């Protein structure tokens, strides 16, 4: 017997991509849906993602953004240090906070920071950034396997899934597998406009991951972002698949994808 | 207030960053703001051998180290620096802090090959302290601007995206104009999306003679650490290996109390009391030794 999970990374208000991902996941015969946090940010109309999550019973983990919006903090706690990145992050955060209604804020406030699933004798830890820190950036090119192994040693799980960086990747270590599930909110800085989600097929024999591209109506999203007065830099990313903000945290290899 | 509550004691949360003082205090340059007074003749700290580094790398795997940093002195004065970086990229990401004046194309080609065969990034941090010879050379020595820029060009040509680090020898209020100057100069040199990191001066070593040291008031107290994000402090997540042993951080290697142990495991377990003026700079600015750069932005405008 095998169980298929769909794991969505940061939605960043991209409800159109979430809608398309849910449709694609249903077509794949997914048994359960999870979102690993950061429902808000970047895109338009924050309240439009929530009905989709509620109606489809998507289990959500709390990301740094969700903690901030839910508790009405001053900033998104994204973990950027560059002034330009923080400038744009704050525009996005102020807009999202202002446009997330009280019920949805309450929902975000009540989310758990991690969850351990036990399925078919496999243990899967779901978190946002890393098991030790919600807003930790775990990039493929700066995360050694021996570093990940410490988490497997401490937590005694078979698989750890996270998001937060915005770029998907997978690694097998000697103690378990790590998967960054990617994000639905914005493309991957690879020059394509699609976004990504991940499925896990879990059986007693093991866990198999698959990354799925999501094609959605990014022109409509761009128009709506423009209507809402969001920065042109954000719209450019949606249109070109090239990061224009919040990229100083990128290590060299991830940055080299488009030679930023 | 008790003495206990005023003591700023920091425990390592996890050894995320392991540094190597790979060429000790030997450098081909004699910058007048160097916080450990490196020069061609300063042998107070010696070179680390490739074998010593390999042993530390092996030990570090058990400790779950996240990234490796190489500094000096000038690391590329080490005859086996390329091999050392190749060894490191087998197990994790590497960053090397260089003045870029001695880089050879053949080394960079080998290192680019090593990076492409590795899952990990190799980052270069290049020290340049002004966007032209008039501003840089008085600090770093005559002719160093031209030589360093040639090094940056070589790195970019080899496919690297170096982080240019500039020590703030100007007023904080001039940051924005200095940054614009750097961005425009680097773009003219063919580095289209430059990464830049501005660093505070550390009033130790040669810099202490240049601009004066710390006052007695410039210290971190225990009270100041209340509600402070300690992960901003280098000693909270780093240690550095030199030829004398393992020290608390790359900035304080000349302070006797910063030498914690002969081995990494013991040094990682020892807390450190922030008793130096430089600790105050670290506290004030945060993340001063990390790789995070300042953006030039995709369209070149810096906000």
Q: Is residue B17 included in any domain, yes or no?
A: yes
Helix, strand, or coil here: B19? strand
What residue ranges define each of the domains in chain A, with the CATH number in brackets? 3-127+184-258 (3.60.21.10)
Q: Distance (Å, rounded) from C-alpha B230 to C-alpha B246?
A: 21
Beta bridge partners of A210: A199
Over the stretch A144-179, which tens digit does the pLDDT of each residue have?
999 999 999 999 999 999 999 999 999 999 999 999
How many structural domains does chain B have? 1
Over the stretch B271-281, which tens digit does the pLDDT of each residue have?
999 999 999 99
Over the stretch A28-38, which tens digit does the pLDDT of each residue have?
999 999 999 99
- pLDDT value for B303: 26
Q: Is residue B143 included in any domain, yes or no?
A: yes
Q: How many cross-chain Cβ pairs, A to B, lie less than 8 Å apart? A: 90
Over the stretch B69-82, which tens digit does the pLDDT of each residue have?
999 999 999 999 99
β-strands A195-203, B17-21: how paired? unpaired
Q: Is residue B129 included in any domain, yes or no?
A: yes
Tell me how far CA of residue B186 lies from CA of A16, A87, B261, in angstroms.
40, 23, 42
Q: Is residue B300 included in any domain, yes or no?
A: no
Q: Is residue B183 included in any domain, yes or no?
A: yes
B115 in reach of chain A (CB within 8 A): yes
Residues 215-274 of chain B with CB under 8 A from chain A are none
Residue B295, pLDDT > 70, answer: no
Q: Is residue B211 included in any domain, yes or no?
A: yes
Q: Distance (Å, rounded) from C-alpha A244 to C-alpha B298?
A: 6
- pLDDT value for A4: 98
- pLDDT value for A183: 98
Taking CB atoms and an 8 Å limit, are A83 and B195 in contact across chains?
A: no
Q: Which domain holds residue B17?
A: 3-285
Taking CB atoms and an 8 Å limit, are B64 and A150 in contact across chains?
A: yes
Tell me how far CA of residue B258 lies from CA of A51, A80, A215, B262, in angstroms.
56, 30, 55, 12
Q: Is residue B298 included in any domain, yes or no?
A: no
Over the stretch A192-217, which tens digit does the pLDDT of each residue have?
999 999 999 999 999 999 999 999 99
- pLDDT value for A120: 97
Q: Compute how many other C-beta atoms are within 10 angstroms of the C-beta atom of residue A161.
A: 28
DSSP A176-239: -EEEE---SSS--SSS---EEEEEEEEETTEEEEEEEEE---HHHHHHHHHHTT--HHHHHHHH
Work out the average pLDDT over A109-129. 98
Residue A80, pLDDT > 80, answer: no
B194 in reach of chain A (CB within 8 A): no
Q: Which chain B positions have a beta carbon within 8 Å of A171's beta carbon?
A: 119
Taking CB atoms and an 8 Å limit, are A251 and B66 in contact across chains?
A: no
Taking CB atoms and an 8 Å limit, are B64 and A132 in contact across chains?
A: no
Instruction: Supply the CATH number for residue B199's domain.
Output: 3.20.20.70
Work out the average pLDDT over B120-136. 96
Which residue is closest to B198 within chain A, CA to CA? A82
- pLDDT value for B72: 94
Q: Is residue B275 included in any domain, yes or no?
A: yes
């Amino acid at each position: 017997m095998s169980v298929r999970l769909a794991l969505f990374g940061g939605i960043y208000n991209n409800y159109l991509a979430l809608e398309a991902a849910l449709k694609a996941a249903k077509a794949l015969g997914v048994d359960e849906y999870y979102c690993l946090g950061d429902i808000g940010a970047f895109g338009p109309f924050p309240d439009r993602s929530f009905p989709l999550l509620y109606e489809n019973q998507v289990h959500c983990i709390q990301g740094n953004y969700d903690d901030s919006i839910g508790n009405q903090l001053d900033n998104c706690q994204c973990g950027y240090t560059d002034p330009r990145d923080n400038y744009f992050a704050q525009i996005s955060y102020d807009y999202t906070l202002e446009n997330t209604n009280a019920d949805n804020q309450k929902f975000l406030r009540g989310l758990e920071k991690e969850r351990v699933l036990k399925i078919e004798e496999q243990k899967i830890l779901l978190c946002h950034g890393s098991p030790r820190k919600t807003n930790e950036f775990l990039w493929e090119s700066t995360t050694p396997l021996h570093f990940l192994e410490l988490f497997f040693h401490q937590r005694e799980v078979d698989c750890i899934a996270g998001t937060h960086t915005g770029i998907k990747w997978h690694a097998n270590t000697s103690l378990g597998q790590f998967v960054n599930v990617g994000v639905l909110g914005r493309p991957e800085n690879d020059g394509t406009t699609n976004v990504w989600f991940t499925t896990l097929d879990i059986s007693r024999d093991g866990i198999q991951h698959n990354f799925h591209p999501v094609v959605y109506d990014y022109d409509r999203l761009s128009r709506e972002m423009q209507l809402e007065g969001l920065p042109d830099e954000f719209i450019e990313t949606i249109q070109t698949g090239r990061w224009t903000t919040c990229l100083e945290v990128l290590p060299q290899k991830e940055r080299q994808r488009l030679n930023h | 207030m008790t003495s206990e509550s005023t003591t700023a004691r920091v425990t390592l949360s996890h050894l995320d960053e392991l540094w190597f003082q790979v060429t000790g205090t030997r450098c081909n340059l004699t910058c007048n703001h160097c916080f450990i007074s490196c020069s061609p003749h300063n042998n107070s700290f010696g070179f680390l051998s490739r074998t010593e580094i390999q042993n530390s790398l092996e030990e570090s795997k058990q400790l779950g180290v996240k990234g490796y940093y190489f500094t000096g002195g000038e690391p590329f004065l080490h005859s086996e620096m390329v091999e050392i970086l190749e060894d490191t990229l087998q197990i994790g990401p590497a960053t090397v802090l260089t003045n870029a004046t001695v880089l050879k194309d053949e080394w960079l080609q080998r290192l680019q090959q090593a990076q492409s065969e590795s899952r990990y990034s190799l980052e270069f941090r290049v020290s340049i302290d002004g966007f032209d010879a008039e501003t840089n050379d008085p600090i770093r020595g005559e002719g160093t601007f031209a030589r360093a820029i040639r090094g940056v060009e070589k790195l970019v040509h080899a496919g690297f995206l170096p982080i240019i680090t500039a020590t703030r020898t100007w007023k904080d209020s001039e940051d924005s104009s200095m940054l614009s100057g750097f961005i425009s100069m680097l773009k003219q040199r063919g580095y289209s999306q430059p990464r830049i990191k501005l660093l505070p001066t550390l009033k130790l070593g040669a810099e202490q003679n240049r601009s004066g040291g710390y006052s007695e008031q410039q210290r971190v107290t225990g009270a100041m650490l209340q509600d402070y994000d300690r992960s901003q402090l280098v000693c909270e997540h780093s240690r550095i290996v030199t030829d004398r042993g393992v020290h608390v951080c790359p900035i304080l290697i000349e302070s006797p109390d910063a030498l914690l142990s002969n081995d990494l495991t013991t040094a990682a377990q020892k807390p450190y009391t922030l008793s130096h003026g430089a600790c105050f700079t670290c506290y004030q600015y945060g993340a001063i030794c990390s790789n995070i750069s300042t953006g030039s932005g995709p369209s070149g405008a810096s906000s």
